[in-house]
Protein backbone atom coordinates (compact mmCIF):
# COMPACT_ATOMS: atom_id res chain seq x y z
CA UNK A 1 0.00 0.00 0.00
CA UNK A 2 2.98 2.37 -0.36
CA UNK A 3 3.13 5.24 2.12
CA UNK A 4 -0.21 4.40 3.70
CA UNK A 5 -0.09 3.65 7.40
CA UNK A 6 -2.19 0.89 8.91
CA UNK A 7 -4.37 1.54 11.95
CA UNK A 8 -6.90 -0.70 13.57
CA UNK A 9 -10.13 1.06 14.51
CA UNK A 10 -13.04 -0.95 15.84
CA UNK A 11 -11.46 -4.19 14.65
CA UNK A 12 -11.11 -2.89 11.07
CA UNK A 13 -7.79 -2.12 9.38
CA UNK A 14 -7.76 1.47 8.11
CA UNK A 15 -5.12 2.67 5.63
CA UNK A 16 -4.23 6.35 6.11
CA UNK A 17 -1.88 8.74 4.38
CA UNK A 18 0.63 10.51 6.62
CA UNK A 19 -0.37 13.97 7.89
CA UNK A 20 1.84 15.71 5.34
CA UNK A 21 2.71 14.22 2.00
CA UNK A 22 3.84 15.43 -1.43
CA UNK A 23 2.54 12.63 -3.57
CA UNK A 24 1.83 8.92 -3.40
CA UNK A 25 5.50 8.01 -3.67
CA UNK A 26 7.38 9.92 -0.97
CA UNK A 27 7.07 11.95 2.19
CA UNK A 28 8.26 15.54 2.46
CA UNK A 29 11.87 15.96 3.46
CA UNK A 30 12.75 17.84 6.64
CA UNK A 31 14.03 20.75 4.53
CA UNK A 32 10.75 20.95 2.62
CA UNK A 33 8.73 20.86 5.83
CA UNK A 34 10.94 23.57 7.32
CA UNK A 35 10.33 25.75 4.23
CA UNK A 36 6.56 25.26 4.50
CA UNK A 37 6.61 26.07 8.22
CA UNK A 38 8.74 29.17 7.62
CA UNK A 39 6.29 30.52 5.05
CA UNK A 40 3.13 29.68 7.01
CA UNK A 41 4.54 31.08 10.26
CA UNK A 42 5.75 34.23 8.48
CA UNK A 43 2.25 34.78 7.10
CA UNK A 44 0.75 34.52 10.60
CA UNK A 45 3.39 36.87 12.02
CA UNK A 46 2.64 39.42 9.30
CA UNK A 47 -1.11 39.16 9.88
CA UNK A 48 -0.69 39.80 13.59
CA UNK A 49 1.81 42.60 12.98
CA UNK A 50 -0.50 44.57 10.66
CA UNK A 51 -3.66 43.75 12.63
CA UNK A 52 -5.06 47.09 13.92
CA UNK A 53 -7.05 45.31 16.62
CA UNK A 54 -5.47 44.43 19.99
CA UNK A 55 -6.85 40.89 19.58
CA UNK A 56 -4.31 38.27 18.47
CA UNK A 57 -5.32 36.40 15.31
CA UNK A 58 -5.37 32.64 15.85
CA UNK A 59 -3.91 30.31 13.24
CA UNK A 60 -6.43 29.55 10.51
CA UNK A 61 -5.21 27.25 7.74
CA UNK A 62 -7.79 28.57 5.25
CA UNK A 63 -6.68 32.18 5.70
CA UNK A 64 -3.00 31.19 5.56
CA UNK A 65 -3.65 29.21 2.36
CA UNK A 66 -5.35 32.20 0.68
CA UNK A 67 -2.40 34.47 1.44
CA UNK A 68 0.17 31.77 0.60
CA UNK A 69 -1.46 31.16 -2.79
CA UNK A 70 -1.32 34.87 -3.57
CA UNK A 71 2.36 34.95 -2.56
CA UNK A 72 3.04 31.95 -4.78
CA UNK A 73 1.42 33.75 -7.74
CA UNK A 74 3.42 36.94 -7.17
CA UNK A 75 6.79 35.27 -6.51
CA UNK A 76 6.59 32.55 -9.16
CA UNK A 77 4.54 34.16 -11.92
CA UNK A 78 4.65 37.94 -11.62
CA UNK A 79 8.26 38.28 -10.46
CA UNK A 80 9.46 34.95 -11.91
CA UNK A 81 11.92 34.46 -9.02
CA UNK A 82 11.63 30.69 -8.67
CA UNK A 83 9.36 27.73 -9.30
CA UNK A 84 6.32 27.08 -7.16
CA UNK A 85 7.95 23.86 -5.92
CA UNK A 86 11.08 25.73 -4.83
CA UNK A 87 9.03 28.34 -2.98
CA UNK A 88 6.49 26.05 -1.30
CA UNK A 89 7.31 22.36 -1.74
Integer CA distances (angstroms), 55 to 51, 62, 86, in order: 8, 19, 34
- Taking the C-alpha atoms of residue 17 and residue 23, their distance in angstroms, rounded to an integer, is 10
Measured CA distances, 54 to 18, 43, 50, 57, 60 (Å): 37, 18, 11, 9, 18
pLDDT in 10s for each residue of the chain, 89 residues: 445 555 566 666 555 555 454 454 456 778 888 899 999 999 999 999 999 999 999 999 999 999 999 999 999 999 999 999 888 98
- What whole-number distance in Å separates Cα of residue 49 and Cα of residue 43? 10
**CA–CA separation, 83 vs 33, rounded Å?**
17
Q: Can you give the residue ranges of every domain in the chain?
A: 28-87
Nearest-angstrom CA–CA distance, 10 and 32: 35
Q: For residues 17 and 5, what is the distance between their CA atoms, to the nearest angstrom?
A: 6
**Is this model's pTM higher than 0.85 or not?**
no
Amino acid sequence: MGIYKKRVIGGKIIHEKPYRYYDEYRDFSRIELAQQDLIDNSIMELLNKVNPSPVQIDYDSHIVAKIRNTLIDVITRDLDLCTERAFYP
